[in-house]
Amino acid sequence: MSTENIINRRRFVSLSSGLVASFPASSALLKPSNNSDGQVPQENLMERFTLDLGHRATRSGPVANLDDNSLLWVTTEPEPPYLAKAMWPISRLVVRRSKDGGKSWGESQILQQGTSDYSLLSHVLRQSTSGKILHIFVRYSGYDYETGTPEKSLCKIYFQTSNDRGQTWSKAQALVTGERYHGDILSIEQLSSGRWIYPICFLTNIKSQFAVSVMVSDDDGETWERSESILTAGGAGFESGASEPTVCELNSGVLWMLIRAQTGFLWESFSYNQGQTWTTAIPSQLPSSNAPATGLKLRNGDIAIVWNNHIDSNYARKSLVIGLTADGKNFKGLREIDFADFRDDLAITRQHVTYPYLTEMKDGTIIVSYNKGNWGLHNQPTLARINPAWITTKHELINFQDGRTDWHIICPGPNYSHAVERYVSLDDKLWLEIEQHPKSKAVTGIIRNIPLLSNGKIQITAQIPKADAYILIANSLLSPRKPDEGCVRIRFTDMGVYFATGKANRSRNDRKITEYLYTSFQIREEIQFPDSINNEKTLNISVEYKSDENEVRIQINNSTPISLKTEKFMGLSYMGFLVDNGGQIRIQQIETSST
């Protein structure tokens, strides 16, 4: 398949209940959302589906591909089980089956029902090489917010199995770990030896702090033993420490663990003896907020990692990305699966795309189920079908023939902090023009994910009718409000054009009862572009990045390129266009090419 990608190959549809009378009322059917003929293009590289069950805030859970190539998907219904104790008896874990790769779903089957003593949350669903399906879940019986310790908190792990592809299930059994309160776990790994590796996290006696360990099974999940290692990540405040780990087996046989933390990075640990012991956890190279990552080893030996590459606050979860790596160090690609827009009113509850679960179809399609919306207000289980070729795209042309597809914006609101966006036709080409709202003096803009650029070039066709305007490029999701943060910046003013690269700075962003640190790239020094340019004319801007040399070269039109040193990071994967002081910028297209 060609490595070139055009954005209109993506497809977004809705799955809901009872749309066609000939189907059961509890089944979920494919409903096209943006194609009048109802036909899905043959070569979709990424498709998204939303499971609309009519509930206010159904929570997505694990998805599993079976040996007959069907899919099972577990959800927690009707709403998050921890909202109120009165809801515990109506909490239920429900599984549905798809025979067409996730495009439609059959009748629901209740796996577990809550009681007045506990509610439920599903963690893991996976078929063993023996054919047995293992479903791991928790019974939640409350968290003591006053002490933040396990003495008065209770959340125990249970499991059940199926030997007939999910038609019938065994009774629930306790998975004994020696701990009282467990956090969420989103994956399990079966090693090439057949051993099951189930990473766990648990509440410690340090207030609100979690730690990580591992459970192993050598008899297909019948019995479990615990690793002697306990991994920590420090921190303080609510939901601190090391939590929600995921484990994958590298091709070398070494086990690689990624861990949720509050330092702006996922942490990592390694096991060289099949999970018996683990190295001390340290920060990895993957930027992340206080949110979990999920890994899956694919049939071809690659590892897919899905996580929130958004770091400027503790619960920043507006960008959900997928990356491919063979060794946990070098990534072949990184793409944004889904996103949430920014808020005009910061007092409004934030939106998220988070908590991913992974499985792989026989043809190599990667399936990711996740949560989109808000935990308590309106959360919808969402599923993405991903062709790995999309993740490793080397060339992409971004224009506005499909409008603002995949652009992060600030939603319009009473503060008028959103950008005024309008389409303009110039020289028979479609441009997007953005400027500040006349009632706002706040910096504003739009942000977009681009294919991972470790060594390659970004070419931008733009016009700057009015200064001030900014082009920002970064390794994690940019803020449309922060023109002074980014890995690379081009600033357009009435006095000239200025180039800069950001310097790594440890920034603190505590909020209420949480503590959080992250690495921001602060713009401190600039180099003025020596040539005189007419901002109203079309500018052909080239940004070439070489990660192995920590260098970026910027060129405007046919000028001599200017080189700047960068900090070390995995690669560039986001672009932003911002305006300030009455500025205006037009974008016609962006072309990315990697070597």
pLDDT tens for residues 285-317? 999 999 999 999 999 999 999 999 999 999 999
pLDDT of 409 > 90? The answer is yes
Shared-domain flag, residues 213 and 343: yes
Per-residue model confidence as pLDDT tens digits over 442-470: 999 999 999 999 999 999 999 999 999 99
Question: What is the residue whose two structure tokens read 């990424």?
Answer: 46
d(CA 539, CA 553): 16
Indicate the number of domains in the chain: 2
d(CA 238, CA 268): 21
Shared-domain flag, residues 423 and 342: no
pLDDT-based confidence at residue 14 (cuts at 50, 70, 90): low
Domain that holds residue 455: 397-594
CATH code assigned at 412: 2.60.120.560
pLDDT-based confidence at residue 13 (cuts at 50, 70, 90): low
d(CA 495, CA 483): 18
Q: Which helix (H) or strand (E) holds 224?
A: none
Q: For the chain, give the longest Cα–Cα distance.
A: 75
pLDDT of 35 > 50? The answer is no
pLDDT-based confidence at residue 346 (cuts at 50, 70, 90): confident
Question: What is the residue whose two structure tokens read 């019948």?
Answer: 222
Helix (H, G, I), strand (E, B) or coil at 88: helix
Give 364-423 as a DSSP string: S-EEEEEEEE-TTT-BEEEEEEE-HHHHT-SEEEE-STTTTTTEE-BPP-TT--SEEEEE
β-strand pairing of 572-579 with 562-565? unpaired
Shared-domain flag, residues 486 and 415: yes
pLDDT of 556 > 80? The answer is yes
Choose the final residue of a domain: 368, 393, 418: 393
Contact call for residues 357 and 62 (beta carbons, < 8 A) = yes
pLDDT-based confidence at residue 534 (cuts at 50, 70, 90): confident
Per-residue model confidence as pLDDT tens digits over 136-161: 999 999 999 999 999 999 999 999 99
Shared-domain flag, residues 428 and 510: yes
d(CA 126, CA 180): 24
Which strands make up the sheet holding 407-408, listed edge to edge?
Answer: 407-408, 444-453, 572-579, 469-474, 488-493, 496-501, 527-528
d(CA 155, CA 143): 8
Shared-domain flag, residues 198 and 127: yes
User: How much is the pTM?
Assistant: 0.93
Choose the final residue of a domain: 344, 367, 393: 393
Shared-domain flag, residues 65 and 200: yes
Return the pLDDT at 41: 37
Choose the final residue of a domain: 362, 393, 424: 393
Cα 176 to chain centroid distance, Å, stands at 31
Return the pLDDT at 504: 97
d(CA 574, CA 122): 33
Question: What is the residue whose two structure tokens read 């990608």?
Answer: 5
Shared-domain flag, residues 74 and 155: yes
Other CB atoms within 10 A of residue 557 CB = 12
Shared-domain flag, residues 281 and 369: yes
Which strands make up the sheet holding 119-127, listed edge to edge?
Answer: 119-127, 133-140, 155-162, 173-174
Structure tokens at 69: 């190539």
Angle at the Cα of 318 from the Cα atoms of 307 and 579, rounded to 5 degrees: 130
CATH code assigned at 331: 2.120.10.10
Per-residue model confidence as pLDDT tens digits over 55-103: 989 999 999 999 999 999 999 999 877 778 999 999 999 999 999 999 9
Contact call for residues 476 and 572 (beta carbons, < 8 A) = no
Contact call for residues 24 and 107 (beta carbons, < 8 A) = yes
Shared-domain flag, residues 282 and 413: no
